Amino acid sequence: MTIRPILTAPDPRLKLVSEPVEKVDGDIRTLVDDMIATMYDADGIGLAAIQVGVPKRMLVMDIDQRDGKKNLRVFINPVITWASEETAVAEEGCLSIPEIWDEVERPARIKAE
């Protein structure tokens, strides 16, 4: 696993349109492993491929780090299929916009495929 550099704003590559992953092959598996290592190294809870300069529709996240246990999830070509009408507000940060935190309102629950 390699720790990859994380792009930071205003890097124009962050605005590229990410393409679907056509096939999960060795290169994609390596990218996933690198993204996981990079996210944890940066003390993040989520990282999209575009943030490491790869315009592919994929992300890794570990938002439920309870009791120090990892709850890692990998999403490839995710699609949100349902979102609750109920919303929740939480303070969020982004590894591509370091040192900035703000309150963000989102659906309280979603379903993704």
| Tally of domains within the chain | 1
Domain enclosing residue 97, as ranges: 12-112
**Which CATH number characterizes residue 96's domain?**
3.90.45.10
Q: Please check whether residue 7 lies inside any domain of the structure.
A: no
User: What pTM was computed for the model?
Assistant: 0.90
| pLDDT reported for residue 71 | 86
In this prediction, residues 96-112 reach a mean pLDDT of 96
pLDDT tens by residue, 13-72: 999 999 999 999 999 999 999 999 999 999 999 999 999 999 999 999 998 766 777 789
The secondary structure of 21-69 as a DSSP string is P----HHHHHHHHHHHHHHHHTT-SEEEGGGGT--BSEEEE----GGG-
Q: Please check whether residue 3 lies inside any domain of the structure.
A: no
Q: Please check whether residue 42 lies inside any domain of the structure.
A: yes
Q: Please check whether residue 78 lies inside any domain of the structure.
A: yes
Give me the half-sphere count of Cα atoms (radius 13 Å) on the Cβ side of residue 44: 23
